[in-house]
Amino acid sequence: MDVPPAAMVAAAVVAAAMVVAAMVVAAKVVAAKVEVAGLRT
């Protein structure tokens, strides 16, 4: 089963984009929790 190099590159780009998006979402969640914690004090 031969996979075209272009498909491998596209899959790598999509995977990288998903990782970046997950990191951004996690950062926003952490920032929101910190903000809420700061408001509660």
The predicted-structure confidence for 1-41, as pLDDT tens digits, reads as follows 677 899 999 999 999 999 999 999 999 999 999 988 888 76
For residue 37, the model assigns a pLDDT of: 86
For residue 9, the model assigns a pLDDT of: 95
CA atoms within 13 A on the CB side of 23: 6
For residue 1, the model assigns a pLDDT of: 61
pLDDT tens, position by position, 21-30: 999 999 999 9
Q: CA-CA distance, 18 to 15, in Å (whole number)?
A: 5
